Every structure is written in C-alpha cells, then in structure tokens.
Amino acid sequence: MKQTILITGASSGFGLLIANELHKKGYNVIGTSRNPEKYTSLPFKMIALDLASEESINTFSERIFKEINRLDILINNAGFLVSGIAEETPIELGRQQLETNFWGTIKVTNAVLPYFRKQRFGKIITVGSIVGLVSFPNSAYYAASKHALEGYFKALRYELNEFNIRVAMIEPGAFKTSILDNSSSPLTKIEDYNTLRNKIEKYTNFIVEQAEDPAMVTAKVLKVVETDKPKFRNLVGKGLSVLITLQHFAYGMLEKTILKQLNKS
C-alpha cells in the first residue's frame, strides 16, 4: 500500500516542489493551503489550513481524519518570513511570526500525534532553515521561530522514539524561492540603522544571486521520506557544515566573517 503524506503549505515554494515530486514517485499526497479552491489543477488533493488562524487549525484538527483514511508522514513546511531590523520590527509582527512558524506548526503536529501513537508508527519531517542554527542580521524573529522549532523537535524526537515515530529536520540554506517576495517587513524605519540597512540590502541581493536550485531540497526531503531511521539534522546547501562548525567551535570567527561580508557590500 502506498504511503500517505500530508504537506502543509503545498501551494508554492518548497511545499509545492516537494508535493509534486512525491506525487510523481507514487505517494498519496495531501497538501494544505489557506485557499485550496485556487489550486484545483494540482495533481494531488488540497485541504484548507491557515497556521495563523486558531479557528482554521481547530477545524483542521477535527476534520483531518475525516478527509483522509490513512497517514504515514507529516511534512511541516508552511510558514512565512518577517525580515527587518529587530528594533524596528513591531512586537505584534514578531508575535505573528512565532504564532505561524512555531505555534502553528506545533498545533498541526499535535493534531496528528494521537493517530501516530495509536498506529505505533509515523514520521514527522519539518522544514526549518540554516537560520534555525545560525542567526543573521535582519532576520531576528524569523531566526527565533526556526530556532524554536529546532529545540522543540529535538526534544520530541526522544519522546516519540518508543512509539516508532521518527522526527527529522530539513535545514536549507539560500535557495531560489519566493520567500523574500512574500515576506513582511516593518514600515517605520529608525535613521540610525540606515547605513546597516543599505549594507544588508546589498548583501541580500548578493545572496539571492548565489541562491541554489530548490530541487536539492526536494531531493533531501525525498531521501528522508525513504529512510527508515533518518538522522535529526539534514543540512541542504553549500558551505553549511562550515557555518555550523564555526558556530560551535569558533563563534568569534563566524561573527567576523559575517561582518566582513556586510562591510564588503
């Protein structure tokens, strides 16, 4: 029997690419979107879910196993980016970032956990980010949300081990997606940050130009899907292992490297 995989945020970006690839591989794919009625041409089933809406999550939790008969794998992918200088970012916008990326993901996970425990197997794969391990300027709240996911799922991996439920994280670097185009930023600017903001803009443009093919992320997710006991941390992208090594063993050097890159911009 082919496995059934639920993917949140499957209407665009990584989610859409992953869902299409898994469908091609013969998996029974169920995607989620805030407006599933817009995506009737997709080759897989779409159901409604808005991680920013408590009502939507509650409805999803009540209906999910009425919509599908079986679930083998949950892929947490939905989320968005808040970019901007930390002091300039309104607390409410930062709260929305955590509410969607962190709490929304946790609530969806909690909706399927009783089912996974009952059947004594399952797999939870969460798309995080390299900024869940290494923070960069202009992404304080996004990094906070991804760091929170890392800590939560690291603990959950231990707790679910006896139930044969596997937990893994995917940590991509910079890839060509629409995440920046769909990001939210503070409207009010603080003049003292003008110089830094200009440097960040130039550095971001450089990173975007160097961004890699998102098919690499799809391939990594597929590998984790097909691995019985995947490792927790799955980095995707050039040079990420070096960043992690510097983070743990030479943080001062990492800071100098990032500041040097900014000053070159």
pLDDT tens per residue, range 110-167: 999 999 999 999 999 999 999 999 999 999 999 999 999 999 999 999 999 999 999 9
Q: Is the pLDDT of residue 217 over 90?
A: yes
Q: pTM for the complete prediction? A: 0.94
pLDDT of 87 reads 97
**What does the pLDDT average to over 14-41?**
95
Lowest mean pLDDT among 2-11, 102-111, 175-184, 231-240: 175-184
DSSP-derived 3-state class of residue 249: helix
CA atoms of 33 and 16, how far apart (whole Å): 10
d(CA 105, CA 101) in angstroms, rounded, equals: 6
Q: In this structure, which CATH number among 3.40.50.2300, 3.40.50.720, 3.40.50.300, 3.90.1150.10 belongs to the domain 4-264?
A: 3.40.50.720
Task: Give me the residue spans of the domains in the chain.
Answer: 4-264
Residues designated as active site: 142
pLDDT at 18 over 90: yes
Quick check: 121 and 71 in contact, CB under 8 A? no
Structure confidence by residue, pLDDT tens digits, 36-90? 999 999 999 999 999 999 999 999 988 888 888 889 999 999 999 999 999 999 9
Q: What's 43's DSSP letter?
A: S
**Confidence category of residue 204, pLDDT binned at 50, 70, 90:** confident
pLDDT bucket at 179, cuts 50 / 70 / 90: confident
Buried b (16+ CB within 10 A) or exposed e, 79-108: bbbbbbbeebbeeebbebbbbbbbbbbbbb
Q: What is the pLDDT of residue 192?
A: 97
Cβ-Cβ contacts under 8 Å for 263 (sequence gap 6 or more): 199
Please give the pLDDT value at position 264.
Answer: 77
The reported pLDDT for the residue numbered 265 is: 61
Distance set, CA 87 to CA 94, 185, 200 (Å)? 11, 12, 15
| pLDDT value of position 177 | 83
Q: Find where tokens 């995080």 sit.
A: 128
Least confident of 58-72, 164-178, 216-230, 251-265: 251-265
In sequence order, what E strands does the chain have?
A: 4-7, 28-33, 45-48, 73-76, 122-127, 165-172, 233-236
Per-chain mean pLDDT for the chain: 93
> Any residues with CB less than 8 A from the CB of 160 and at least 6 apart, and which?
113, 116, 117, 124, 166, 167
222-245: average pLDDT: 94
Compute CA 10 distance to the chain's CA centroid, rounded to the nearest angstrom. Answer: 12
Residue 120 is given by DSSP the state T
pLDDT score for 13 = 92
What angle in degrees, to the nearest 10, is found between the helix axes of 91-98 and 140-160? 30
| Averaged pLDDT for residues 230-241 | 95
In this predicted model, which residue has the larger pLDDT, 263 or 128? 128
What number is the average pLDDT over the span 5-26? 96
